[in-house]
Structure 1
Amino acid sequence: MPAAERIQAGRVSSTGVDAVSDVMELLTRGELTVRGRIREASNAVLYCSVSYEGRAAACVYKPVAGERPLWDFPDGTLAQREVAAYEVSEALGWGLVPPTVLRDGPHGEGMCQLWIGGGPEPGSGSEGGEELLALVEGAEPGEGWKAIGFADVGEGRTALLVHADDERLRRLSVLDAVINNADRKGGHLLTDDGRLYGIDHGVTFNAEDKLRTLLWGWAGESLTAEAVGVLEALRDGLVRGAPLALRLGKLITGAEVDALRARVEALLSSGKHPVPSGDWPAIPWPPV
């Protein structure tokens, strides 16, 4: 894409600034060209370039035709849920999910999302050297870390799995609680130029409580004042007939939108981060 301005992580690299609306237009109207496939994924995930009117970016395209049916997510598509997660992230104002749209592509309708970081080949990821997860010896996480739980590291040994006590992760844990994320793994955490992004939101918004995450470090702690404020704004945005509620109603079922409202109300009522229910594994497998 030598003749186009390259957009990465929501910015035009040649100027350092870019409106999210420009990125969304690029993802929605641009020409998609498949460059490769992410073979580690359980569903079809294609690494693409997208170009439109002199702008270009790398993106990920997940066609609905490549989705494997899930018995506990029988309604709608994973692609629609990914877009719904982006809508809620934007409504919270934290920008935790890369720009994401639902569009037609080379293999039919699917989710198209701005690629974060380097290319898909090994060693070009977007972690940026930041350590967000770790295994430590002993029973205490240490300063700057939050405990998740003990992990089997082989030969009859265990180690404490921890995540960083990072405000960005704390915000993401709130988003996950809101969208009922059933699969927040370590590999779904990306950083780029100091920003944190969460990806892979296909198994979200179930009407039943299915929260499975690595971000349990704040379980039972009070929500920050900032979190309470954005949740109150989200509650207003979910009122029946509001633009956000109408957009979500085209992506997930009515029962799932109602459950979303109920989760937001429950978080505001308790004023605390949720705790594992004990009714199912609280941590996804594999964790990374």
Structure 2
Amino acid sequence: MPAPERIPPRSVTTAELLAEGELTVRGQIREASNAVLYCSVSHEGREAFCVYKPVAGERPLWDFPDGTLAEREVAAYEVSEATGWGLVPPTVLREGPYGRGMCQLWIEGEAGDGLLSLVDAEEPGEGWRAVGLADVGQGRTALLVHADDERLRRLAVLDAVINNADRKGGHLLPAAGGRLYGIDHGVTFNAENKLRTLLWGWAGERLTPEAVGALERLRGSLAEGGPLAARLSELITAAEVDATRARVDALLASGRHPEPGGEWPAIPWPPV
């Protein structure tokens, strides 16, 4: 009699692991302004580490509705995925030990990537882009620069689409294999222009063909009835979805990176 066929165990996807796995709180990241918990998550034999941000731990903001930051983090991930660039770690909305919140795969960062610098010069050196002058104390200023790096340039385009009001240096996460992720996207998708970022080095310059292609993919997916439009409508308001669609259209119409508007501080504080 032949032996019964052995069915190999099913491979748990990262999305399933984050959404359905058992969350165990291991610690708290205290530098954050909102509650950020470092957790392990396990499901059907697979385990990973993640960040869990419960809605109950969100600090109220004057210009964003209360209790919406977790959804905005997930929306940023969905837009990143739709570009094909994978700039935001896998992120889901789920119930956890302290209620509903955002759960994002923990990415182990690598130090020494050299993406930002302060230089005592009037112009950036080769391989760098100027952001602006920064006060370094005792009445002195230095030029804040970021690397002329295509990974950062993609992130600058993403930030323009999602209207990121808080792209700080500490939200750039270099990872293994030359990957670069952006994290902390709670203050995004406002219907009003609130773009605040350290990545102004390409302001006014023409978008790369790669960026134009990504924006065209977004426009198709954001069209009425499109998959991204449907997903975002579950996470942000109809007015915010319309504003996201309008920002994509404006970027494609101009063919250029946006420039600071002047009606809103262009650089977040503190910048790092």
Q: TM-score, normalised by structure 1?
A: 0.89
1:138 aligned counterpart, secondary structure? coil
Match of 2:5 in 1: none
Distance 1:204 1:279 in 2: 17
1:172 aligns with 2:155: yes
1:245 aligned counterpart, secondary structure? helix
Instruction: Give 1:262's match in structure 2, choosing from 246, 249, 259.
Output: 246
Spell out, residue by residue over 1:77-112, the C-alpha distance to the aligned partner (whole angstroms, 9 max, x if none): 100000000000000000000000000000000000
Distance 2:227 2:89 in 1: 21
Distance 1:185 1:127 in 2: 17
Residue 216 of structure 1 deviates from its aligned partner by 0.2
Aligned-residue Cα RMSD (Å) equals 1.1
Give the residue type in structure 1 aligned to 2:149. D
Spell out, residue by residue over 1:23-65, the C-alpha distance to the aligned partner (whole angstroms, 9 max, x if none): 1111011100000001111110000000111111110000000
Residue 70 of structure 1 deviates from its aligned partner by 1.2
1:53 aligns with 2:44: yes
Residue 240 of structure 1 deviates from its aligned partner by 1.1
Structure 1: unaligned runs, 5 residues or longer: 1-18, 118-125
1:161 aligns with 2:144: yes
Instruction: Give 2:86's match in structure 1, choosing from 83, 91, 95.
Output: 95
Residue 76 of structure 1 deviates from its aligned partner by 5.5
| Within-5 A mapping of 1:69-80 | 69-74=60-65, 77-80=68-71
Match of 1:115 in 2: 106
| Within-5 A mapping of 1:1-288 | 22-74=13-65, 77-117=68-108, 126-193=109-176, 194-288=178-272
Distance 1:280 1:169 in 2: 22
- Give yes or no for contact 2:161–2:247 (8 Å, CA) kept in 1: yes
- Give yes or no for contact 2:198–2:268 (8 Å, CA) kept in 1: yes
- Give yes or no for contact 1:76–1:251 (8 Å, CA) kept in 2: no
Residue 68 of structure 1 deviates from its aligned partner by 1.1
Distance 1:229 1:280 in 2: 29
1:153 aligned counterpart, secondary structure? strand
Based on CA coordinates, which of the two structures has the bigger radius of gyration? 2
Distance 2:254 2:33 in 1: 36
Residue 128 of structure 1 deviates from its aligned partner by 3.2
Distance 2:65 2:107 in 1: 29
Residue 138 of structure 1 deviates from its aligned partner by 1.0
- Give yes or no for contact 2:30–2:36 (8 Å, CA) kept in 1: yes
Distance 1:67 1:261 in 2: 27
Give the residue type in structure 2 aligned to 1:169. L
Residue 75 of structure 1 deviates from its aligned partner by 6.1
Distance 1:220 1:277 in 2: 12
2:17 aligned counterpart, secondary structure? helix
Distance 1:243 1:88 in 2: 11
1:173 aligned counterpart, secondary structure? helix
Give the % identical residues: 79
Residue 127 of structure 1 deviates from its aligned partner by 3.3
Distance 2:62 2:142 in 1: 34
- Give yes or no for contact 2:58–2:67 (8 Å, CA) kept in 1: no
1:207 aligned counterpart, secondary structure? coil
Distance 2:47 2:66 in 1: 33
Residue 113 of structure 1 deviates from its aligned partner by 0.1
Which 4+ residue blocks in structure 1 deviate beyond 6 angstroms? Answer: none
